[in-house]
Structure 1
Amino acid sequence: MRKMSDGVEAALHSALVLTAVPDGKVLTGRSLATLHGVSESYLLKHLRALAAAGVIEAVPGPRGGYRLAREPGQITLLDIVEAIDGTEPAFHCREIRRRGPGKARDPCVYTSDCFIKTRMLAAEQAWRAALRAQSLADLVADGERLIDPGNKAAVAGFIADEQR
């Protein structure tokens, strides 16, 4: 549909990791950045966006960090994508049909929306509906099935060591 920013991937992975943090505990931005092999400043920008959108909570203070703001089943993939990339449509109709040699002299000729615009916006609505229908809980279930036991154990150990 459209190219999503790299921040969406980082945000999805970070939110998924935060599902494994026990109640009352947090992970720091530094820990999440280390786990994912990205710079802390890069990830913090995206964590702030997730917090502003109400997907995660930022706990201040020396023992602070990040945790989910809601249950994983209440956080859609669309919530995360829109927190990072915004809610603006990917397609912007510039009404180029009204330019060039075939342009109508009378603006009243264009009484309906551009049919290309209509189809493109419908496709985007379908894309957004598909993301809205999937939650962070679905990613947790995928991870349970698809992540090998050694990697699961390594991440669980990392979380246990790094949680505050």
Structure 2
Amino acid sequence: MERDGEKTRKFDGVDQRFAVATHAMCVLAVRGQAVSSAQFISENISVSAIIIKRVMRPIVLAGYVEAVVGAVGGYRLIRDPEEINLWQLLEAIQGSGPFSKRFGMPQSNCDEGRAIDRVVYDLYSSLDAMIEERLRAVSLASILQSAMSLLPPPE
């Protein structure tokens, strides 16, 4: 990305798997108790079935989705969409907030460096706390409801 002739780095603190997971979970929520194959989900959100399988693994382990094996296998939501919030998905996918995973400055040999390290750590912690609070307030059901309100009325 370039701004005023200066190269800048885009903030990439939230893993792209989180966006894929959120979208995939919404697909499952719309489908109710129906089993959806990785291929079906991938075609709906324009990513490969392999990515869907990789993204769904930690969500299955977290207990939000059931993996059904066999010829007609796939994934099925096992919790109500109202009970699943975006923080839970982020935790399942990344294990922590976007800032805490970025912290890790080299050990400083001076008092000023250690003080700066502490200030940055506290800042990152407070940012993650704000993100957690906001994401906990957003359920899959509320995402679907908001998305439906953006669709044009049926003819």
Are 2:20 and 1:10 aligned? Answer: yes
CA displacement, residues 81-139 of structure 1 (integer Å, 9 cap, x when unaligned): 1222222623425375x43xxx24xxxxx79x823322221121111111111111110
Give the Cα–Cα distance (whole angstroms) in 2 for the partners of residues 81 and 149 of structure 1.
32
- TM-score normalized by the length of structure 1: 0.74
**Matched letter for residue 40 of structure 1:** A
Give 1:2 shift.
5.2
- TM-score normalized by the length of structure 2: 0.78
Match of 1:90 among 78, 101, 111: 101
Percentage of pairs with the same residue: 26
Match of 2:122 among 111, 118, 122: 118
Match of 1:33 among 31, 39, 42: 42
Match of 1:78 among 82, 87, 90: 87
For residues 12-161 of structure 1, what are the structure 2 equivalents within 5 Å? 12-23=22-33, 25-87=34-96, 89-94=100-105, 98-99=108-109, 103-104=110-111, 114-149=118-153
In structure 2, the CA distance between the partners of 1:115 and 1:37, relative to structure 1 (3 Å rule), is closer
Give 1:77 shift.
0.3
Q: Are the aligned partners of 2:66 and 2:75 in contact in 1 as well (CA < 8 Å)?
A: yes
- Identify which of structures 1 and 2 has the higher relative contact order when contacts are C-alpha pairs closer than 8 Å and 6+ apart: 1
Structure 1: tracts of 5 or more residues without a match:
105-109, 151-164
Give the Cα–Cα distance (whole angstroms) in 2 for the partners of residues 147 and 85 of structure 1.
31
Give the Cα–Cα distance (whole angstroms) in 2 for the partners of residues 134 and 22 of structure 1.
19
Structure 2: tracts of 5 or more residues without a match:
1-10
CA displacement, residues 50-78 of structure 1 (integer Å, 9 cap, x when unaligned): 11111211112222211112000110101
Give the Cα–Cα distance (whole angstroms) in 2 for the partners of residues 6 and 91 of structure 1.
15
**Matched letter for residue 20 of structure 2:** A
In structure 2, the CA distance between the partners of 1:116 and 1:3, relative to structure 1 (3 Å rule), is closer
